[in-house]
Amino acid sequence: MSKLVTIYGGSGFVGRYIARRMAKEGWRVRVAVRRPNEAMHVKPYGVVGQVEPVFCNVRDDASVAAVMQDADAVVNCVGILNETGKSTFDEVHVQGAGRIARIAADQGIATMVHLSAIGADAEAASAYSRSKAAGEAAVLAHMPGAMILRPSVIFGAEDGFFNFFAGTTRFGPVLPIAGADTLFQPVYVDDVAKAAVKGLLGEVPGGIYELGGPEVKSLGALLDQMLDVIHRRRLVLPMPGFVARLLAGSLDIVQFVSFQLISNNILTRDQVRSLKTDNVVAEDANSFAELGIKPVTLASVLPDYLWKFRPSGQYDAIKDSAKNLQT
């Protein structure tokens, strides 16, 4: 009988790529999510019945244990960027991660991959980064041999980074940004999935791996590259720190006074604090080199999914070609 992996958050941005690759490896894949009816897109990743979305609440021991039953390996991809309701950084990144690791250890599961983030640091100014560090500690306390992946900002067709900024270019000639000089090392989502699969198959040892692509660029430079891809001219305007804090604070207040009916998915005060620190792979960190993976470049992927933000969408290239026709 084929082996089984349970992927918590397996229908999300990174999780779905891991699910697809594990299905191709012949494993049965159990995708544990809060809303299985909204995760049906994972079923075609394998043959009939090979990939199944199931309900799970990572805040509940019984729920986590039930979907882990008979699994040979587990993956935790559950994460949030903004706290809303009961979904706090502590509940999701720390308690949830620790719960999955503890129950995996109790069930005798030897293999776990945990998705964290570059910048995870118990002393960080950002609550997000501190919670990621605490989550890693909680995982390692129960599963000392776990593989922990710390990616920089992740890009890909479903990303919330380039898609978000490209979408905002439709609303005006100026693109105001906080942390314009902060350095990032964007990593392709499927490269992160490849790393996770190597850990799940036992091809590499556990431990912490920091994952970044082949290019290090400032946030401002990344948005300039994005603008070239979508064929739009916009002024990338760096916001002074006090302006960014004021804007983020105002958006946080709107979320609070609306009783979180309006979620701040634009810029939070915690994200402003996070943007003060570069998001790149440390020189002494284990990374793709130790995994035997050559990460792909931004230029080879961005045009494949950002074309929809061009002025004429899929017809932009045709219009550019038509300009070169001789009459």
Domain residue ranges of the chain, discontinuous segments joined by +: 4-155+186-213+279-295
* Position 327 pLDDT exceeds 60: no
pLDDT tens digits for range 153-195: 999 999 999 999 999 999 999 999 999 999 999 999 999 999 9
Q: What is the pLDDT of residue 321?
A: 67
Identify whether the C-beta of residue 263 lies closer than 8 Å to the C-beta of residue 169: no
Q: What is the pLDDT of residue 326?
A: 58
| 4-155+186-213+279-295: CATH superfamily | NAD(P)-binding Rossmann-like Domain (3.40.50.720)
Provide the token pair at 7: 């992927």
* Cβ neighbour number for residue 296 with a 10 Å cutoff: 15
d(CA 258, CA 254): 6
What is the reported pTM? Answer: 0.95
d(CA 120, CA 98): 16
Identify whether the C-beta of residue 40 lies closer than 8 Å to the C-beta of residue 17: no
Q: What is the identity of the amino acid at 221?
A: A
Identify whether the C-beta of residue 196 lies closer than 8 Å to the C-beta of residue 149: yes
pLDDT tens digits for range 266-276: 999 999 999 99
pLDDT tens digits for range 243-254: 999 999 999 999
